[in-house]
Structure 1
Amino acid sequence: MNEQQQAGAPDGFGNAQTGGHTGPPPGGWGPPPRPDTAVPGPPPQHAAPPPPNYPPGPLPGWGYYPPPPPPRRRHPGRRAVALAAALVLAVGAGIGIDQALRSGNSSNGTSSSTSQVTPTALTPADAVSKAEAGLVIINTTVGYQDARAAGTGIVLSANGEILTNNHVIDGATAIQATDVGNGRTYTATVTGYERNGDLAVLQLKSASGLTTAKLGDSAKVAVGDAVTAIGNAGGTGTPSAAVGNVTALDQSLTASDEATGSSEQLSGMIQVNADVEPGDSGGALVDSTGAVVGIDTAGSQSQGGAQQGPQQGFAIPIDTALPIAHQITASKSSTAVHIGPTAFLGLEVSSGSANGRGGGNGAGNNGGNGSANGSDNGAVMVAGVIAGSPAAQAGITQGDEVTAVDGHTLSGPDSLTDLMVGQTPGKQVSVQWLDTDGTQHSTTLTLATGPAD
């Protein structure tokens, strides 16, 4: 844990708000709610079009018909840059929105009696003004895909510990974060992540005196409570907000990846009718006092950006996220929590089924966003190899089948991804594979430092 801690915040995690805005920004909250229309101009030329979307399907707890598709994980730019909608993300591609309140299916109701007790419930604009100084705008470079990405993070400590979604930094080879409170931009490194829980902690280099987020108690959140989702929606580089209400608690869902078609199971989520958009990921879901009660993570969106039915957003409860954040900042690794730099083989692989997570999506642990499926025998089919990587130096090529790593027989791409979580750069591991002629090979290679998973 860093030595400088926010006064009044247990273990340095900011339950004490200092500094920040005391009212609306200069000129007021003038811009009208952002319309759900296309971002002007063509998409960035460096980004390839996304693959076809999954067909619509029902989700647990959705009480209307026809149901929307599985909520898309709000991944940064490389997962949305080519969509013909207002959800296009690209670093530096701001569209002139400054602190706008986004439209949402909100009511004018106040928090229920089971919500956090406060003398006065704030307006959404005041809640944003109170909470925004405890956020950072995250921009990443996804080097192996020649892409850029954007997201949001929550300031946990004055020394620059930042809580965000793992998918915000998945595949990142460089990360920068701009603190909303002081306007400074910092280089960030990944302290650790919990991939299955979609959480990560970053450390801002040479940061001090940051305003920390006021953290609430998600156990007190009740259906009907007024909430505001704040984040870097659209990758504009400034916080904006969507107002709404809590519609359900403890929700389980399958969140799909907009780029690869893979998906993952999320559970225990807070469901809201606020419009959570790409770029909001890792941002704050705040209650009527401006306290963070959840981490914006996913939202419903139909194919091509058209909305079917009510807006739906999902957030990880802050009470779920904080123990994982504490474990990461205490450098306590486990089978689920990875600490420090990510080990890298340099293989491009993908999921062998529609429900798989994929073996290294977005240049993750295994090195890429390949398109080949797993082999029938459980081996991992190689869709491509990153030039200069350990796998390339070992002579592994496209079309080969990796059968074992570090003495562990593989049962598909997911098993390789899980295995790599526990590895560290510089470690020597054995690798066995079959080439396209069926000849078996074995070698020992040294894992490199790769992008975050």
Structure 2
Amino acid sequence: MNVKTVKTIIISFVAGAFLTGGFWLGVQNASYFKETSTADRSTTSNADNTQKGAVKNVSLMETTGSNVIADMLDLAGPAVVKIETESTRRGSSNRDLFFRHFFGEDYQIPQQERTTQSLGTGFIISKDGYILTNHHVVNGAQQIKVNMSGAEQKYTAKVIGQDPELDLAVLKIDAGKELPILELGNSDQIRVGEWSVAIGNPYGLDHTVTVGVISAKQRPLNIGQARFKDLLQTDASINPGNSGGPLLNLSGEVIGINTAINAEGQGIGFAIPINTVQEVLDDLINKGKVARPWLGISMQDLTPELARYLEVDVKEGAVIGFVSEGSPAEKAGLAQGDIIVEIDKQKVTSSEQLAEIIGNAKVGDRHQLLLLRNGQMNTVSVTIGEKNYNSQ
């Protein structure tokens, strides 16, 4: 029997950036940070002042000459910020595990609170302090500080919205003044071979600038909970600490958010297209999240080998491998081993096709499934739920 499997890359952020499955998410561990006092957090949320209503203040469309990148950075650089996070977790030390090895499983390992400090990058998209970055930069942080270029003061940031699936987060700071912003460009218009400029804080080196080209578009990549289909690939150097920073064109417009690199190669970095970000930006600011449709099953293709093993006559479909507890699928009565052959009278040819249909549905939509169970065809009605990442 040849059962198709899905390979998932899991990223750990216990102590900054970790190598997993050949990819780095660029969060840089920064244990050298000094303690800073916590400023009052701003709870003001004003979506009208976000990027869509912001006045363009970065434009070099008519700039020519050999200093075009330097000139662009003079305007774009002040809107790029360093993000410092602090997280406290309970865990065991290697010494405690050592003692358990010698004294047996009955040895009680004390749980100790451990503080980890990491850094990433972000950029300001509204004059009143909204900031875009990666979800994995701030995920689980108890304290978030934002440091602007040339400023001695660090601002305490509040998480306004997060989306693990697109690896996005929106922060808000209250600076008490108008802030410089970056204009969001159009990533759909970017061509392979065009120049790209990354700004970030790799390994704590503030406002490091790297230059390259867009080497590919629409790259698929799975990292942890994030499922990407259309990442921009660039050879502009991206390292731990760059995550959440902008990928710019020569006009100083953001065309992507730097999010990962391939650690097994050189000059292979990935950025979330800014058009993908803009599709969910309002939801992140106004609702704090993006409502994702969810059925609550894992699936695999019904291959000829699997059909023979299961002794079924159908040749195409999606075999349910697991049903999440409390999910819409469980409430509808779906079970492990069911073979979904139709959805709304449309033939299911693969698990990927069915997953795409569910992914394009809206929360609350009802669908009719035709499934094979114990040699009998059954029609089941399911209502699409909302994905809860805390329970996944």
- Normalising by the smaller structure, the TM-score range is 0.5 to 0.7
Work out which of the residue numbers 293, 297, 308 in structure 2 matches 1:343.
Answer: 293
Inter-CA distance 424–117: structure 2 relative to 1 (3 Å threshold): same
Q: Could you tell me how far apart the structure 1 residues matched to 2:181 and 2:12 are? A: 22
Please say if 1:445 is aligned against 2:382.
Answer: yes
Please say if 1:186 is aligned against 2:158.
Answer: yes
User: For residue 133 of structure 1, what is the aligned residue in structure 2?
Assistant: 81
User: For residue 251 of structure 1, what is the aligned residue in structure 2?
Assistant: 216
Identity score, percent: 18
Structure 2: state its 5+ residue gaps.
Answer: 1-5, 35-62, 88-117, 148-153, 284-288, 304-312
Q: Could you tell me how far apart the structure 2 residues matched to 1:431 and 1:173 are? A: 36
Q: Quick check: 1:245–1:274 contact (8 Å CA) kept in 2? A: yes
Please say if 1:381 is aligned against 2:319.
Answer: yes
Cα-Cα RMSD: 5.7
Q: Could you tell me how far apart the structure 2 residues matched to 1:84 and 1:386 are? A: 25
Please say if 1:299 is aligned against 2:261.
Answer: yes
Note the 1:41-120 alignment, pairs <5 A. Answer: 77=13, 83=20, 87=24, 94-96=29-31, 113=65, 116=68
Q: Quick check: 1:116–1:221 contact (8 Å CA) kept in 2? A: no
State the 1:386 CA deviation.
0.9
The alignment covers a number of residue pairs equal to 301
Secondary structure of 2:354's counterpart equals helix
Q: Could you tell me how far apart the structure 2 residues matched to 1:215 and 1:86 are? A: 29
Q: Could you tell me how far apart the structure 1 residues matched to 2:86 and 2:368 are? A: 36
User: For residue 157 of structure 1, what is the aligned residue in structure 2?
Assistant: 126
Inter-CA distance 132–162: structure 2 relative to 1 (3 Å threshold): closer
Work out which of the residue numbers 191, 198, 204 in structure 2 matches 1:228.
Answer: 198
Q: Quick check: 2:25–2:243 contact (8 Å CA) kept in 1? A: no
Q: Could you tell me how far apart the structure 2 residues matched to 1:173 and 1:287 are? A: 28
User: For residue 274 of structure 1, what is the aligned residue in structure 2?
Assistant: 237
Structure with more of its chain in strand, by fraction = 2
State the 1:347 CA deviation.
0.7
Secondary structure of 1:392's counterpart equals helix
Q: Quick check: 1:242–1:275 contact (8 Å CA) kept in 2? A: no
State the 1:220 CA deviation.
10
Q: Could you tell me how far apart the structure 1 residues matched to 2:190 and 2:348 are? A: 43
Inter-CA distance 296–230: structure 2 relative to 1 (3 Å threshold): same
Q: Quick check: 2:23–2:262 contact (8 Å CA) kept in 1? A: no
Q: Could you tell me how far apart the structure 2 residues matched to 1:159 and 1:276 are? A: 29
Q: Quick check: 1:403–1:432 contact (8 Å CA) kept in 2? A: yes
Q: Could you tell me how far apart the structure 2 residues matched to 1:274 and 1:162 are? A: 23
Q: Could you tell me how far apart the structure 2 residues matched to 1:77 and 1:379 are? A: 37
Q: Quick check: 2:332–2:380 contact (8 Å CA) kept in 1? A: yes
Please say if 1:415 is aligned against 2:365.
Answer: no
Deviations 1:322-352 (A, max 9, x none): 5x55554578xxxxxxx95122211123688
Deviations 1:272-294 (A, max 9, x none): 341345x7454313579986454
User: For residue 368 of structure 2, what is the aligned residue in structure 1?
Assistant: 430
State the 1:176 CA deviation.
9.0
Inter-CA distance 86–393: structure 2 relative to 1 (3 Å threshold): closer
Q: Could you tell me how far apart the structure 2 residues matched to 1:117 and 1:89 are? A: 24
User: For residue 214 of structure 1, what is the aligned residue in structure 2?
Assistant: 182
Inter-CA distance 239–189: structure 2 relative to 1 (3 Å threshold): farther
User: For residue 245 of structure 2, what is the aligned residue in structure 1?
Assistant: 283
Q: Which one has a bigger Cα radius of gyration?
A: 2
Structure with more of its chain in helix, by fraction = 2
Note the 1:344-383 alignment, pairs <5 A. Answer: 344-349=294-299, 377-383=315-321
Please say if 1:402 is aligned against 2:340.
Answer: yes
State the 1:450 CA deviation.
1.0
Q: Could you tell me how far apart the structure 2 residues matched to 1:376 and 1:178 are? A: 54
Inter-CA distance 427–87: structure 2 relative to 1 (3 Å threshold): closer
